[in-house]
Structure 1
Amino acid sequence: MSGALERSLREVSERLEQSLFAEEMSRRNGLLQSLDPRVKVVSFLALIIAANLSRHPAMIAGLYLLTLLLAWASAVPAGFFIRRVWLALPFFTGLVALPALFLTPGPPLARLPLGLIVTRTGATTVLFLLLRVGTSISLGLLLILTTPWAALLRALTVLRVPDTLVLMLGMTYRYIFVLLRITNDMFLSRRSRVVGRLSTAQERSIQGAIAGTLLAKSLHTSGEVYLAMQSRGFRGYAHTLRPGRITWRDYSWAAAVALLVGAIVFLAC
C-alpha cells in the first residue's frame, strides 16, 4: 500500500470523525446546549470583546477558567477542548508575538546566543497575548461545539448578518462535508485496488487523478444541490424547523453574562 495514499486516507477519515464528533457534542444534554442559540451568540460575542478589552491577566485567566467550567457543564471533554486550542496556538500567535520577546524594552530576563536578550517586559507581553488569544479562541470554539451548525447560522440574523451570507456559510459547511465523504470513498476505493508499493511518480499520478475527478464531481453535485433546493421551494431564504423560543434560563444566562462583562469593562476603563 502506498504511503501517500495511506496518509491521505487517514487524514480525510480524521476530518470526518472530527466533524461527526462536533455535531454529536452539540446535541448532548449540557448547560450551553439548553440555551437559545441567539442568546449564546450575543453573549459569547460580548465575552470575547470583554476578554480583549481587559488589561488584567488575572481577570483573563479567570475568564478562561470559567470557559473550562462551562465546557465541563456542557459535557465537552476537557482534553479534547484544551488540545484543540493550545496545540495550534503557539505556531500561529506565538510566531507573530515572538519578536516582542527581544524588541520590547525592559530589564533582561535571559541571554541567548547571537547577542539576543529576552526582556522581562517582552515575556510578560507575549504571555499576556497568548492568554488573551487562547481565551478568545476557547470561547468561540465552545460556542461552535455546543450549538448545531444550522442553529448557529440561523442565530447570526440577530447580528444583522445578511441572509444570503448565512445561507452561503451553511451550504459551504455541508458541501465540504459531502466532499470529504466523496474523497474518503475515492481513496478507500483506490486503496483496495493497490497491491504492493508504488513509485513516487505513480503516487502523484493517482493523487492528481483523484483531485481532477473530485473537481468534476463537485461541479456536478453543486448543480444537483441547487436544482434540489429549487424543487423544494427555495426562494433565497432558508427556513428552519425549530425557530427557537427564549425561556427564563436564557434570560438568567444573559443577565449573568451582562453583569460579568459590565464588571470587566468597568475595571478596564
Structure 2
Amino acid sequence: MGGEAHHGKKRGNFVQRTIDSLAEAMERSLYAEQLASSRGILQNLDPRIKLIGTLLLITTAASAHTITVVIALAVVAFGLALLSRISLRTLSPIWIGMFVFSGMIGLPALFLVPGPILATIPWLGWQISATGLRSAAFLILRSEISITLSFILITTTQWTHVLKSLRIFGIPTLIVVILSMTYRYIFLMLQSASDMFEARQSRVIGKLPDHEARRLAAATVGVLLSKSFQLSNDVFMAMQSRGFRGEVYILDEFSLHTRDYLAMPVIAVICGLGIWFGIIPA
C-alpha cells in the first residue's frame, strides 16, 4: 500500500466502478488501522489523553481572537501530524477539501462585513473589507485546525479505543459497545458487497445497459439488507449462547504511563498560552 490508499484506474463498467469504490473504502479503513499501529508520537499515548487533548486544542482554536495564536495552533496541529507519521500526501486532500468548503462559506464575509476597504473588484464594484478578510481567514484556519486534529485522532487511534475513550464523559458502556459493533458491521457489509459485485462481474461480458445496472444495484441493496438482518440475528444468538444477559463487560482497560503524564502538562501549557494570548485581553 506504501502508506497510501491505492486508487486504481476506474473503468467505464458500472460493476467495476462499484467494486473499485468499495475496495477504496476498505483500503482507507485498513490504512487507518495500520497507521494507528505504527510507532508515532501520538500512537503511544493513552486514547483518553488524545481525546481530551484534541477537544481542548479545538476549543482553544475556536475561542482565540488573535490570528497569530490561530496560526500557531495550526503549526502545532501540522507538527503533531508529522510526528505521528501522517504524510503530507495524506493530509493534502483533507486540507484542500476543507479549504474549498470553508472558503465558500466565508466568501460572503469579504463583501458583507463592514470595515476598512482593501480592494474593489472591477466591473462588479464589490468592495473587500479588511474586517471581512480577517473573519474569513479565522473561519478557514479554525476549520483546518479542527479537521486536522480530528483526522490525527482517528488515524492514530483504533476506532474501538476512540469509542471506549468516550466513557470518560459518562457515556454508558452499552452505547459504546453498540457503536463499536456498528463499525464492524459496516466493514463486514462492505466486504460482502464487494464479494457480490465481484461475483457478478465474473459473469458479465461487456458493458451492462443502464437499466440492467440499476436493477443490479437495487437487487444488491435488497440482498445486503437481508444479509445484515440475518447477521444481526446470528450475532445476538451467539452472544446469548455465551452468557450475554444484557450486561456489557469490556476486556481491555486503559492505563496511564509516564509518557501520558508528560503529555498532560504539555497540552495544558499549549492551551493555556493560547487562551492567555488569544482570548484574555491585554
Structure-2-length-normalised TM-score: 0.88
Q: Does residue 178 of structure 1 match 2:188?
A: yes
What is the aligned partner in structure 2 of residue 97 from structure 1? 106
Residues 1:125 and 1:256: Cα distance change in structure 2 (over 3 Å): same
What is the aligned partner in structure 1 of residue 164 from structure 2? 154
Q: Does residue 123 of structure 1 match 2:159?
A: no
What is the aligned partner in structure 2 of residue 14 from structure 1? 24
Amino acid at match of 1:100: A
- Is 100-109 or 197-206 further displaced after alignment? 100-109
CA deviation map 1:28-48 (0-9, x unaligned): 111111111112111211111
2:39 corresponds to which of 17, 29, 51:
29
Residues 1:112 and 1:215: Cα distance change in structure 2 (over 3 Å): farther
Q: Does residue 196 of structure 1 match 2:202?
A: no
| Cα separation, 2, equivalents of 1:202 and 1:112 | 52
Amino acid at match of 2:105: V
Q: Which has the higher helix share?
A: 1
| Cα separation, 2, equivalents of 1:100 and 1:236 | 52
Structure 2, unaligned stretches of length 5 or more?
Answer: 1-10
Q: Does residue 218 of structure 1 match 2:231?
A: no
Q: Does residue 135 of structure 1 match 2:130?
A: no
Q: Does residue 164 of structure 1 match 2:174?
A: yes
CA deviation map 1:75-106 (0-9, x unaligned): 222320232x2132134323322322221113
What is the aligned partner in structure 2 of residue 86 from structure 1? 95
Other structure's SS at 2:189 match: helix
Structure-1-length-normalised TM-score: 0.92
Deviation at 1:108, TM superposition (A): 4.5
2:53 corresponds to which of 43, 46, 71:
43
The Cα RMSD (Å) is: 1.9
Other structure's SS at 1:32 match: coil
Deviation at 1:109, TM superposition (A): 2.4
CA deviation map 1:199-222 (0-9, x unaligned): 111111111111111111111112
| Cα separation, 2, equivalents of 1:6 and 1:126 | 42
Alignment check: 8 A CA contact 2:19 2:197 kept: yes
Deviation at 1:115, TM superposition (A): 4.5
Structure 1, unaligned stretches of length 5 or more?
Answer: none
Identity %: 36
- Is 118-127 or 208-217 further displaced after alignment? 118-127
| Cα separation, 2, equivalents of 1:31 and 1:133 | 24
Deviation at 1:131, TM superposition (A): 0.5
| Cα separation, 1, equivalents of 2:175 and 2:42 | 25
Other structure's SS at 1:109 match: strand
CA deviation map 1:131-158 (0-9, x unaligned): 0011011111111111111111111111
What is the aligned partner in structure 2 of residue 5 from structure 1? 15
Alignment check: 8 A CA contact 1:46 1:261 kept: yes
Residues 1:50 and 1:235: Cα distance change in structure 2 (over 3 Å): farther
Q: Which runs of 4+ in 1 moved over 6 A?
A: none
Residues 1:110 and 1:234: Cα distance change in structure 2 (over 3 Å): farther
Alignment check: 8 A CA contact 1:50 1:265 kept: yes
| Cα separation, 2, equivalents of 1:209 and 1:33 | 42
What is the aligned partner in structure 2 of residue 73 from structure 1? 83
| Cα separation, 2, equivalents of 1:110 and 1:194 | 59
| Cα separation, 1, equivalents of 2:248 and 2:120 | 58
Amino acid at match of 1:167: V
Residues 1:239 and 1:30: Cα distance change in structure 2 (over 3 Å): farther
